[in-house]
Amino acid sequence: MASQDQVRQYLAYWFQLGKKVLVKNGQTALLPQPVIRGDRYSAEFEECWHQIVSPDSKDCYLEGTHQTIAELLSPSWEIDPCARCEMPVPVPNMGMPALTCPCVDLPTWPDTAMPQPRAPISTQSQLIQIRDRLMQAGKRANTKGEE
């Protein structure tokens, strides 16, 4: 089952490539910009997400796909990397996967020369993790030196 965080990240990645979410059977198209602001999703993305999961927004789906966001949040679906481009794609728990990835209509994708879409990153937590790894490596080196 795809978690709500996985579906949010799935949408955020595709939004970064210009894909829209179609709401109410295509009556409205949503494409928040920017998607990421600093170490979190932007206010525009959060507003879009709340609109997508609102009960009033029936049949929301990512442009180029057929699965609704509500279906992706059900136990029948998972989000896995595409075999072609490594972007997140919906995969049914049972049965045959979709024949195409949402990237099928992006003529220049995958583009390994461009930065890949990403989730928000907390610079502070990344630096803390690096510091902790260096401290652990230093302790191991000191322990080996005492032997």
pLDDT at 136 exceeding the cut of 90: no
- Share of residues in the chain with pLDDT > 90 (%): 39
pLDDT at 85 (0 to 100)? 85
- Could you report the per-residue pLDDT of 21-69, keeping only the tens digit for each? 999 878 889 999 999 998 899 999 999 999 999 887 778 999 988 889 9
Three-state SS string across 73-108, please? Answer: CCCCEEEEECCCCCCEEEEECCCCCCCCCHHHHCCC
Task: Phi first, then psi: give them for residue 132, nearest 5 degrees.
Answer: -65, -40
Rg (CA), the chain: 19
For residues 51 and 23, is the Cβ–Cβ distance under 8 A?
yes
- Could you report the per-residue pLDDT of 89-104, keeping only the tens digit for each? 998 887 666 667 777 7
With a CB cutoff of 8 Å and minimum separation 6, the contacts of 106 are 17, 18
Task: Phi first, then psi: give them for residue 128, nearest 5 degrees.
Answer: -65, -40
- Half-sphere exposure of residue 119, counting CA atoms within 13 Å on the CB side? 9
With a CB cutoff of 8 Å and minimum separation 6, the contacts of 44 are 32, 33, 34, 35
